Structure 1
Amino acid sequence: MSTFDLAAKIVTTQQKAWVVHAGIAQRHSGEFLRSGVIFLETPDLDLNGVKLDNRQDVRRALRRSLALDKHYHTTGSTKPSIILGDYDGDPFDDTSLTALAGGVARMFGKIAEGDVVMSPGIIRGAEFNTPVIHFGEVVTPFDSDDVFSGNHRTSRSVPVRRVNWLSAVPRKEISLHLERKINKPPALREIAIDRETEEILQHTYKSYVFENTSSSLIEASKYDGSDFITLTNSQYLIAALVAAHYAVTNDQVTGQIPDFDAFVREHFQKAPVENIVVDFASPGSWRLIGASASMAAFVALGVAIFTSDLDLKKLSIDLTVTNSVSAQGSAELATQENMKTFLRSIDHINIKKLREQAQEGKLKIGLSSSVQQVAP
């Protein structure tokens, strides 16, 4: 039995996105990435016993951290009290501290496991540096005992959130709409995930399902701008899979497909795909956008299957589909059975043609998807 992992993120209405700036001039960006964390410039901030939804508690904790930081950098000073109740809970006169207190409440009281995090940074190169936005996902709930110490005074003994960094996107590839949202103060702010900001998901996940639509990235990691024929053949494979998904899910496949090229032309035009973004700036990729909820997973699975060395006739009987990225649901079984139906509907000549195109694409331009074979 051969098993494939869709690795498709199911984005729920509870999931949020947050911009986190890594301090003045992005000075903590390296620590964010190397250690898989995000934090605010709050040295010696202790959140044990602090009610994060209580503004007075948060202000007291912040005033205590400021007092401790001053003590550690003042020779001969007396260590201040560590009792939270000994500190004033009234609003700050300093607007920057008011903003910082709000950031503490949000980072440790509002950000949830599974939320998306975006952080501006720089990738340093031999000749020039590239401004980027790092995209990641929070991987653990908040733990007040999870404390990190970096190499700067403002990052000593700070509470953190743990993040799995997933991608780094050059700022020039970020839309102006999203760029403006990212650049707004304060250091930590929420950006709602909706149709206007779905770009966030495209930069974060190779494959995802959001509000009954799906998106998937098909990559050509070896493409160098020279092999146009292989590129065209790979595009035909993608078109065939899009057409197949539409036909199978609309009960248009009842047996062997008599004229496969005509089948692809007819059903590709009917398929509900908002857009297929083609980006071949060497290397390259195709991104399905606004597809029906299961289409992107079906296409990505098809690319993984046809680029494999498995017996496709056998696979049409014993294929198993899982999803390691999100909780198991009905989508895996539906995708599994739809693919089996498609594989049984293709005659030997056309299945051989698709297999040859896929494997040539894999060899010459690095054709692949996020779906992984996890069992032979």
Structure 2
Amino acid sequence: MSTITVDLNSKVVPAAQKIWIVHPGRNRSHIDTFESAGVVFLEFPALALRPEIIADDSLLRQRIRYSTAVKANKGFVRDDGTPIHIADYPTAADTDVSVHLRTVKHLTTRMMAGDLVIVPGRGAGGAVLFGEVAGSFFPQKSIRAAGLPFADTPVREVNWLTKRSKLELPAHLVKFFEKPPAIAEVGRDRWSEGFFDFAYDAYSTDARSWVSLDAPQYDGSDILSLVPPAELLALAVSLYRAMEQRADLTGLDYDQIIARFYDHDALAEAQMRFQSPGRYNLKDKDAKLAKWINGFVALALAGALSACSNGDHIEFTNKQAPNDPANAELTAMINMAGQSAGGAVLTKAETQAQHAQSKLGMSAPATVR
């Protein structure tokens, strides 16, 4: 007996993970720099944000006013030839810097490592960057940005995950891109958590899990080519429900399993999107079914699904969350399904997967080895 390992490669989103919208400067002019340098920043050159300044709102207000003057004069000398000194600017609270103070604190102290950062570009069809904050804020990290070459601008480092088009996002998410301010936290709820759908190909929260299966080759010419992948997904849902019930599938064929166990209400969302690139987007209601579909489809695509009906052991793992309890639960379920459903059913599932791969280019985030 051999062991086949499935890495679900699925992000587990902690409850503490925040969502931030960061606008890339006036007219969204810095988005290319954000992407290429792996950073986000505010258009505040020469802030020199030492820890004692960040901790003192009075000093920080003075620094912001000084930075604004440096930016307006494109350097450290005014048009009349007089130098710009930080001592020239007050420390008192006032409306001229209240919003700026808040956004600087967002950048430096309120953003935490692992938080989701979303950067919208210009126009209705502009690019949208998705990334995660990389580590803590370091005052030494800075950039000489385009349009601000006369002084260092402090940055926050970001690991970019993916780039989408605004046209892919629903209107209720695009509304969050409206200005101001330059940096804004988006409160998490069932609607705003839709941003995770575009940041991660597979993820789970406490309440939901999600998987996006690529299908980039569908050209709209053969509608029947959509039937085998639909049946494959229906079998995945049906076997999941059957294994939850510890049902005996002896003597049932592929279609009979679907007819008896398919649950029309199992998925909160089941989308087929065939703009480029095509995708099947699936979101469950129990934080586990989408993970199961991810692993099940990956096994079928790899031709390894039927192995567990022949005595081999399948193990579900997740490099992004090695201690996720779902790994062991799904491992038990897939091996039980293999023994109960039998080789004929699982071999047909592999055939359906091969069709989906050849016709649609279907792939899953999970990998099999």
RMSD: 2.7
Q: What does residue 168 of structure 1 align with? A: 163
Show the 5 A alignment for 1:107-118. 107-118=107-118
Q: Secondary structure at the match of 1:269?
A: coil
- Counting matched residue pairs gives 363
**Is the aligned partner of 1:259 residue 2:262?**
no
Show the 5 A alignment for 1:169-248. 169-248=164-243
8 A contact 1:50–1:61 mirrored in 2: no
CA distance, structure 2, for counterparts of residue 34 and residue 105 of structure 1: 24
**Is the aligned partner of 1:43 residue 2:45?**
yes
1:311–1:170 Cα change, 3 Å: closer
1:122–1:371 Cα change, 3 Å: farther
1:36–1:326 Cα change, 3 Å: farther
**Is the aligned partner of 1:286 residue 2:289?**
no
1:42–1:283 Cα change, 3 Å: closer
Stretch deviating more after TM superposition (339-348 or 17-26): 339-348
Q: What does residue 277 of structure 1 align with? A: 271
**Is the aligned partner of 1:72 residue 2:75?**
yes
Task: Report the Cα offset of residue 80 of structure 1.
Answer: 3.9
Q: What does residue 10 of structure 2 align with? A: 8
CA distance, structure 2, for counterparts of residue 294 and residue 257 of structure 1: 27
8 A contact 1:71–1:79 mirrored in 2: no
8 A contact 1:138–1:163 mirrored in 2: yes
Task: Report the Cα offset of residue 78 of structure 1.
Answer: 5.0
8 A contact 1:223–1:282 mirrored in 2: no
Aligned match for 1:324, one of 319, 328, 353: 319
Aligned match for 1:349, one of 324, 344, 353: 344
**Is the aligned partner of 1:307 residue 2:310?**
no
Q: Secondary structure at the match of 1:163?
A: strand
Q: Secondary structure at the match of 1:179?
A: helix
Q: Secondary structure at the match of 1:319?
A: strand
Amino acid at match of 1:240: L
CA distance, structure 1, for counterparts of residue 319 and residue 50 of structure 2: 33
8 A contact 2:54–2:105 mirrored in 1: yes
CA distance, structure 2, for counterparts of residue 155 and residue 166 of structure 1: 31
CA distance, structure 1, for counterparts of residue 271 and residue 348 of structure 2: 25
Q: Secondary structure at the match of 1:130?
A: coil
8 A contact 1:279–1:286 mirrored in 2: yes
Aligned match for 2:354, one of 348, 352, 359: 359
CA distance, structure 2, for counterparts of residue 92 and residue 108 of structure 1: 21
8 A contact 1:68–1:80 mirrored in 2: no
After superposition, the C-alpha distances for 1:102-138 in whole angstroms (9 at most, x for unaligned) are: 1101111101111111111159xxxxx9323322222
After superposition, the C-alpha distances for 1:15-51 in whole angstroms (9 at most, x for unaligned) are: 1111111111111011011111111001122122235
Q: What does residue 126 of structure 1 align with? A: none
Amino acid at match of 1:211: D
Task: Give structure 1 stretches of 5+ with no counterpart.
Answer: 124-128
Aligned match for 2:148, one of 149, 153, 175: 153
Task: Report the Cα offset of residue 282 of structure 1.
Answer: 4.9
Q: Alignment identity in percent?
A: 26
